[in-house]
Amino acid sequence: MTAETPNTASTDRERLLAHRCPNDHLTYPGHTVCPTCGREQTETVDLTDRTATVVTWTESIATPSGVRAPNTMAIVEFTAEGNTVSVLGQMTDDVAIGDTVQPVFIEELRDPDVSLRAKESQSWAGYRFEPVR
């Protein structure tokens, strides 16, 4: 696995994007239609450089091929223009409910050499959340 690096997001692939509908509902991941009101989601909100609060977390010791063990996962909540959106993701370190975290872009969330699927058919990049200390 590659080392965790600070956010230097320069492309959409490297940005953590929530989606907004005309009624101001935020969702992550994005959908064509808002799951709350059914309107088309037409705007994105960049969460890449924001902080979030840990709502809950769990640790898995029986992980899929290529995923580190133990694997700490958390649901974190971002606030954007007065609205909140929840995101599920891996943690880089120990965490507690109520901790403030920030997204960190990771080139390989899984080890592609251990995956059951062909490397070239998968996207391995994404975000982990790192506690703000």
- 15-26 pLDDT tens trace: 899 999 999 999
Which residue, 62, 114, 121, 51, is CA-closest to 84?
A: 51
Confidence class of residue 50 from pLDDT cuts 50, 70 and 90?
very high
Q: Convert the pLDDT of each residue in 83-121 to its tens digit.
A: 999 999 999 999 999 999 999 998 877 776 776 667 676
Q: CA–CA separation, 28 vs 17, rounded Å? A: 7
